[in-house]
Amino acid sequence: MMNGPIDLRSDTVTRPDAAMYRAMCDAPLGDDVFGDDPTVKKLEERAAALLGKEAALFVPSGTMGNAIAVAVHCRPGDEMIVERTSHTYSFECGGSARLWGVQAVPLDSPGGDGRLPPAAIRAALRQDDVHLARSRLVVLEQTHNLSGGRVLPPSYVEEVAAVCRSAGLALHIDGARIFNAAVALGMKAADLARPADTVMFCVSKGLGAPAGSLLCGPQALMGEGRRVRKLLGGGLRQVGVLAGAGLHAIENNIDGLARDHDHARALGEALNAIPIPGVRIRPWPIETNMVYLDPPADRPEAAQRIGQALTRRGIAAVKIGASFRFVFHRDIDDSTARAACGNIREAVLEALML
């Protein structure tokens, strides 16, 4: 059991375990800006191999990794096509415009699952006209956070990649949780990443490292990315202490994601059985490590009451709009997950049963 509240706000809240701390303490160090930190180099080589790409670049955060991807694919005045609720568009401070002068073209996902219809992408492409911006990049999110950790099917990603190739666009995957997708599908992450030009993934989410992400892609683009990383202040010198944690994470913690998925499914089933009209669980069925709870839309007081009940029962969750997001992670063991399921179910019943 965890000390204090059961923290389901995100899979970013994990603490290194003893083995990860040892890996951090024992990591050989150098100066990564000079390119001679051996632990960073080993992590980058291993990450590139896992994603099936030529090279990788270790960066402090997923947001920086996505920002660098935009920078290496686009020039000022270009456009990138994104899904309207994606992390890149919604939660990265307008970085493409603010940093690089690249404007985002947000498209809706008709199914609310992060998928952009290939026909809609084609319709959004600019003609080659002196008056118009140039379409340069499509960004997908794998898994898709705001739809509940939904997995983009490999066949769909291939379709989008085909559109990009035919139009001369690059495809970037914000794969912050791509290993959750791979585990859910029983596939290798490299197979999910293959259609994309570049892919970013986080070791600081479900894999349990305290910080860090990897941007993977062609050697030439990663070389330019290294320059952009320096510009953004991401050259962190003896960063092997963090790379050691990331290396331990990808070598030991990927298979453990399946347990997080099992815990999320158990919570989804417990909440889906609540006999209160209007309570909605997303997605259904649960796909990875996330569960979203939508209160009844016709009860404006419901969200506040649920939030208060969750706090009383020792559950920490993120509230997005009127919805509550619960994210399972490696710090939640089986007994804690069972307690969380019971406490969350009771909190919802307490809040909504009048």
* Position 218 in a domain: yes
Q: Check whether residue 66 and residue 149 sit in a common domain.
A: yes
Q: Which residue, 236, 252, 268, sits at the end of a domain?
A: 252
* Position 22 in a domain: yes
Q: What is the pLDDT of residue 353?
A: 84
Chain mean pLDDT for the chain: 96
pLDDT, tens digit, 9 for 90 and up, residues 170-221: 999 999 999 999 999 999 999 999 999 999 999 999 999 999 999 999 999 9
- Do 192 and 142 form a contact (C-beta atoms < 8 A)? yes
Q: Check whether residue 100 and residue 185 sit in a common domain.
A: yes
* Position 11 in a domain: no
Q: Check whether residue 245 and residue 264 sit in a common domain.
A: no
Q: Check whether residue 247 and residue 164 sit in a common domain.
A: yes
Q: Which long-range contacts (CB under 8 A, 24 or more apart) does 155-161 make?
A: 156/115, 157/192, 157/195, 157/196, 158/195, 159/118, 160/116, 160/118, 160/121, 160/195, 161/195, 161/196
Domain tally, the chain: 2
Q: What is the pLDDT of residue 3?
A: 60
Q: Check whether residue 132 and residue 244 sit in a common domain.
A: yes
Q: Check whether residue 303 and residue 185 sit in a common domain.
A: no
Q: Which residue, 252, 267, 302, sits at the end of a domain?
A: 252
* Position 47 in a domain: yes
* Position 4 in a domain: no
- Do 328 and 260 form a contact (C-beta atoms < 8 A)? yes
pLDDT, tens digit, 9 for 90 and up, residues 296-327: 999 999 999 999 999 999 999 999 999 999 99
Q: Which residue, 197, 221, 252, sits at the end of a domain?
A: 252
Q: Check whether residue 90 and residue 235 sit in a common domain.
A: yes
- Do 180 and 254 form a contact (C-beta atoms < 8 A)? no
Q: Check whether residue 224 and residue 307 sit in a common domain.
A: no
Residue 87 Ramachandran class (φ > 0 left, ψ -120 to 50 alpha, else beta): alpha
Q: Check whether residue 284 and residue 144 sit in a common domain.
A: no
* Position 293 in a domain: yes
Q: What is the pLDDT of residue 256?
A: 97
pLDDT, tens digit, 9 for 90 and up, residues 88-126: 999 999 999 999 999 999 999 999 999 999 999 999 999
Q: Check whether residue 177 and residue 116 sit in a common domain.
A: yes
Q: Check whether residue 235 and residue 260 sit in a common domain.
A: no
* Position 24 in a domain: yes
Q: What is the pLDDT of residue 354?
A: 61
Q: What is the pLDDT of residue 1?
A: 42
The residue range of the domain holding 117 is 18-252
The mean per-residue pLDDT over the stretch 242-269 comes to 98
d(CA 115, CA 106): 12
Q: What residues contact 81, with CB distance under 8 A and at least 6 apart?
A: 104, 105, 107, 116, 121, 124, 125, 135, 137, 138, 139, 169
pLDDT, tens digit, 9 for 90 and up, residues 37-90: 999 999 999 999 999 999 999 999 999 999 999 999 999 999 999 999 999 999
Q: Above pLDDT 90, what percent of the chain?
A: 96
The mean per-residue pLDDT over the stretch 133-145 comes to 97
Domain at 285, CATH number:
3.90.1150.10
pLDDT, tens digit, 9 for 90 and up, residues 125-136: 998 889 999 999
* Position 3 in a domain: no
